[in-house]
């Protein structure tokens, strides 16, 4: 592994390629939501059916993350990222030209697999783009791109739909993808692991993840208890077979061997809890504000300081994590986020005190965004650093999987809370969800602080020399 990363010029081009790819992936995960009504009308399907435009994409991403991360270790991160970028760009064009609803769903699923190819190993690539001493700075830049893209998603979608039909939401990815591909030649060639992709593990991983999402999704609905229990039983059975196979493999698709490392395991648990807290809040806050009388436009404005504060703080915390204990930074950040959640939960009714309530809510949003920003970059840096160089892809894939697992848990728990609070009203349900989010934020802080003083283990000598990536990789 080259501890000095890429030369300056190549580094900027590589970061541009990664940044554009990640921005497209994040934007496409959210902009389709805004256009669902237009898609339903244009393709003559019901609103319920149109939700599969989002679901097909997300399910494909979840299923593809770990296999794509493993492929990154086997054939090189550059190859996987470029292949993901090509698939994502081509599928975006197919989405824009979709003649039917079924064609669009298929194209969205393929687009999700391309997204998995990029997002599963984008942080792993950073370990070879930047010098090791600047890894936190690189992860901070990546977190900033994600935050800005997430914040801009609804606005970008609305702006495009104001002047063009919904297919343009996907068509704009084609020129962006071509620009990213033109810069992808600067991406670093990485060492290749002498291993093969275990196909049964890929199948078991897909089955486990899909069953996990199904069971969580049913918890917040009025599905009969026996159906939920049956699904949970099947999930446990398939998950047991999957985990048993992973314990016997070297290296496994799901990096259970890395989870034996305390710093790595704590980083994963911290990520799951923090993203669960974030999603719980993201779901609950719009309901709270609108139930208290805020319009949709006002709700969007009230929420905006969160991603903006995150985008500002993430690069700063990334730089700090190169010099200060990342566990302490992440723990402090999650405590700040928990404070913001508690404050906004007890905030007076929006608009009831002139500008005081909106300003107070804005302050809480800044606290939550800044707190999450102080966690996100240091946590990513520490997780990557705790994985040996030959398993960087596994570490990156696990980071992405932890994020999606936390987000899925948060959304499902929010649905459960709202269902339990049906008799008490939307405001009370929203406040309960914020309280649960604060609990998860505190748990994330505890897990993060437990990493202080723990050393990142030095990897043992490799049993076989890694193959060098070819010039065409």
Taking only the tens place, the pLDDT of each residue in 106-118 is: 999 999 999 999 9
Verify that 412 and 441 share a domain, yes or no: yes
Phi and psi at 76, nearest 5°, equal 110, 135
In this predicted model, what pLDDT tens digit does every residue of 208-228 receive, in sequence order? 988 988 887 777 667 788 888
**Most confident option among 68-82, 83-97, 296-310:** 83-97
Average pLDDT, the chain: 83
Q: If you write DSSP's letter for every residue of 130-143 in order, what string do you get?
A: S-GGGHHHHHHHHH
Asked whether residue 461 is domain-assigned, the answer is: no
pLDDT band at 466 (very low <50, low <70, confident <90, very high): very low
Verify that 218 and 305 share a domain, yes or no: no
Asked whether residue 464 is domain-assigned, the answer is: no
418 has pLDDT over 90: no
Enclosing domain of residue 203: 199-248
167 has pLDDT over 50: yes
Say which residue the tokens 């898609």 belong to: 39
137 has pLDDT over 80: no
Q: Which residues of 260-293 are buried (b: 16+ CB within 10 A; e: fewer)?
A: ebebbbbbbbbbbbbbbbbbbbbbbbbbbbbbbe
Verify that 152 and 88 share a domain, yes or no: yes
Asked whether residue 472 is domain-assigned, the answer is: no
**Most confident option among 382-391, 403-412, 461-470:** 403-412
Verify that 152 and 41 share a domain, yes or no: yes
Question: pLDDT value at position 174?
Answer: 94
Q: 7: buried, middle or exposed (CB in 10 Å: 19+, 13-18, 0-12)?
A: exposed
User: Is the Cα torsion angle 105, 285, 437, 273 positive or negative in sign?
Assistant: positive
Higher pLDDT, 193 or 375: 375
- What percent of the chain is predicted at pLDDT more than 90? 26
354 has pLDDT over 60: no
332 has pLDDT over 80: yes
Verify that 364 and 430 share a domain, yes or no: yes
Asked whether residue 267 is domain-assigned, the answer is: yes
Say which residue the tokens 């399907």 belong to: 45
Question: How many domains does the structure of the chain reveal?
Answer: 3
422 has pLDDT over 70: yes
Verify that 273 and 421 share a domain, yes or no: yes
Q: What is the largest CA-CA distance in the chain?
A: 68
Higher pLDDT, 352 or 40: 40
Asked whether residue 65 is domain-assigned, the answer is: yes
Verify that 261 and 350 share a domain, yes or no: yes
101 has pLDDT over 60: yes
Work out the number of other CB atoms within 10 angstroms of the CB of residue 37: 12
Q: What is the mean pLDDT of residues 364-387?
A: 86
pTM > 0.85: yes or no = no
Q: For position 327, which CATH number holds? A: 1.20.1250.20
Give the Cα-Cα-Cα angle 239, 245, 250 (nearest 5 degrees).
135
CA 119 – CA 470 distance, rounded (Å): 22
Verify that 241 and 258 share a domain, yes or no: no
Question: pLDDT value at position 459?
Answer: 41
The SS3 of residue 249 is coil
Q: What is the DSSP letter of 185?
A: G
Asked whether residue 460 is domain-assigned, the answer is: no
Q: Among the listed ranges 86-95, 185-194, 353-362, 417-426, which one has the minimum average pLDDT value?
A: 353-362
Q: Which of 140, 163, 186 is the last residue of a domain?
A: 186
Give the Cα-Cα-Cα angle 213, 439, 405 (nearest 5 degrees).
20
CA 197 – CA 332 distance, rounded (Å): 39
Q: What is the mean pLDDT of residues 432-446?
A: 94
Verify that 242 and 295 share a domain, yes or no: no
Q: What is the mean pLDDT of residues 456-466?
A: 43
Question: pLDDT value at position 445?
Answer: 94
In Å, how far are 23, 51, 124, 373 from 380, measured between CA atoms?
18, 31, 10, 11
Verify that 59 and 133 share a domain, yes or no: yes
Verify that 276 and 220 share a domain, yes or no: no
Asked whether residue 434 is domain-assigned, the answer is: yes
Verify that 268 and 232 share a domain, yes or no: no
Asked whether residue 142 is domain-assigned, the answer is: yes
């Amino acid at each position: 592994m080259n501890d000095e990363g890429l030369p300056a010029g190549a580094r900027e081009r590589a970061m541009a390629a990664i940044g554009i790819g990640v921005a497209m992936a994040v934007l496409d995960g959210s902009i389709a939501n805004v256009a669902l009504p237009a898609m339903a009308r244009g393709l003559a399907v019901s609103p319920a059916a149109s939700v599969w435009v989002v679901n097909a994409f997300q399910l494909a991403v979840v299923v593809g993350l770990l296999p794509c991360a493993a492929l990154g270790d086997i054939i090189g991160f550059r190859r996987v990222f470029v292949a993901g970028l090509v698939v994502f760009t081509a599928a975006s064009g197919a989405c824009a030209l979709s003649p039917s609803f079924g064609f669009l769903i298929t194209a969205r699923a393929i687009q999700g697999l391309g997204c998995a190819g990029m997002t599963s190993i984008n942080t792993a690539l950073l370990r070879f783009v930047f010098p090791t001493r600047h890894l936190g700075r690189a992860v901070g830049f990546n977190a900033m791109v994600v935050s800005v893209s997430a914040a801009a998603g609804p606005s970008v979608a609305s702006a495009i739909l104001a002047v063009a039909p919904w297919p343009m939401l996907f068509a704009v990815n084609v020129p962006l993808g071509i620009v990213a591909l033109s810069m992808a030649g600067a991406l670093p060639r990485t060492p290749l692991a002498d291993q093969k992709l275990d196909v049964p593990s890929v199948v078991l991983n897909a089955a486990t993840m899909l069953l996990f999402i199904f069971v969580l999704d049913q918890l917040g609905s009025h599905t009969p208890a026996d159906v939920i229990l049956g699904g949970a039983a099947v999930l446990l059975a398939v998950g047991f077979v999957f985990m048993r196979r992973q314990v016997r493999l070297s290296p496994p698709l799901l990096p259970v061997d890395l989870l034996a490392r305390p710093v790595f395991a704590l980083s994963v648990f911290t990520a799951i809890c923090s993203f669960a807290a974030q999603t719980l809040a993201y779901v609950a806050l719009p309901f709270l504000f609108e139930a208290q009388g805020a319009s949709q436009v006002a709700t969007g404005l009230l929420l905006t300081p969160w991603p903006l504060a995150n985008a500002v703080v993430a690069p700063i915390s990334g730089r700090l994590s190169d010099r200060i204990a990342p566990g302490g930074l992440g723990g402090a950040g999650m405590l700040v986020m928990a404070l913001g959640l508690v404050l906004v939960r007890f905030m007076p009714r929006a608009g009831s005190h002139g500008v005081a309530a909106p300003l107070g809510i804005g302050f809480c949003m800044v606290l939550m965004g800044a707190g999450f920003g102080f966690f996100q970059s240091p946590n990513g840096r520490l997780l990557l650093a705790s994985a040996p160089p030959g398993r960087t892809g596994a570490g990156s894939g696990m980071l992405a999987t932890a994020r999606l697992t936390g987000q899925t848990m948060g959304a499902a728990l929010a649905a459960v809370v709202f269902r339990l609070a049906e008799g008490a009203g939307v405001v009370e349900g929203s406040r309960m969800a914020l309280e649960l989010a604060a609990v998860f934020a505190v748990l994330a802080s505890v897990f993060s602080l437990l990493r202080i003083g723990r050393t990142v283990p030095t990897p043992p000598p490799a049993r076989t020399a890694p193959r060098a990536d070819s010039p065409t990789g």
